[in-house]
Structure 1
Amino acid sequence: MRTKEASLRIIRVFQQLPRTGEAAVLGKQLLRSATSVAANFRAACRGRSTAEWYAKRCICVEEADETLFWLELLGDSGIVAKIRLTSIEQEYLEIVSILASARKKAQR
């Protein structure tokens, strides 16, 4: 499952963050949002109704976009070198795009 693999990558990023207050705050937010994407995607796949599936997908899109925000802040603040985050940021851009597209199709 792509969202689970991406969240595992985020866990590894989190584990390598410097031991500073600001890194801890941003890192925990990043960890929460990334793991939420994977958990809600899994829940959506097991949804009991179309409405439940749609609601969970909406949460996935929101949390994936939030994950991108925390990654950007880690890079822009200099806590993590931007070059080290490029690949995982690209992965979350793709996840947002895929999930948003599926959500739009379901809306029709």
Structure 2
Amino acid sequence: MNYRAMEAKNNILRERTFAFAIRCINLYRYLVEEKKEFVISKQMLRAGTSIGANYREAQNAESTNDFIHKLGIAQKECDETMYWLEILQAAYLLDQNTFDSIYKDASEILKMIKSSILTTKQKQA
């Protein structure tokens, strides 16, 4: 992948993780105000907003290994967010359309992060 393609991919991931964090904030507000759910929604909020924060940290990594490490944290936070979303859906706190939409976003972000990690590791080898 050339530099421009990598830079475009990074910008897309930056935008996607930011937009996802906003979705998590809005979902948290809904869950607290409408469903009176405070515990699981807070966990989802923390993990969901952490993805983009860790991605931003990766952009300022001090080394390739640091970059991979920070992306690895973002990957874990994304997977954790998906877990909390699954719990919320299984507990009937999310309707199917809302769940499908936000879960799809999380899944796509997770794939992009994994791809970035693998590409970086391959370049490093």
TM-score of the two chains, using structure 1 as the length reference: 0.92
Per-residue Cα deviation, 1:37-83 (whole angstroms, up to 9, x for no partner): 01000111111211111100000111101111111111111012122
Alignment match, 2:6: none
Given the alignment of the two structures, is residue 47 of structure 1 paired with residue 89 of structure 2, yes or no?
Answer: no
CA distance in 2, matches of 1:85, 1:55: 29
Gap runs ≥5 in structure 1:
none
Give yes or no for the alignment of 1:27 onto 2:44. Answer: no
- Residues 6-34 of structure 1 show CA distances to partners (whole Å, capped at 9, x for unaligned) of 01001000000111xxx211101100101
How many aligned positions are there? 105
* Sequence identity percentage: 31
* Deviation >2 Å, runs of 4+: none
Residue identity in the other structure for 1:38? G
Provide structure 2 residue ranges, at least 5 long, that are not aligned to the other structure: 1-14
Question: Which structure has the larger Rg?
Answer: 2
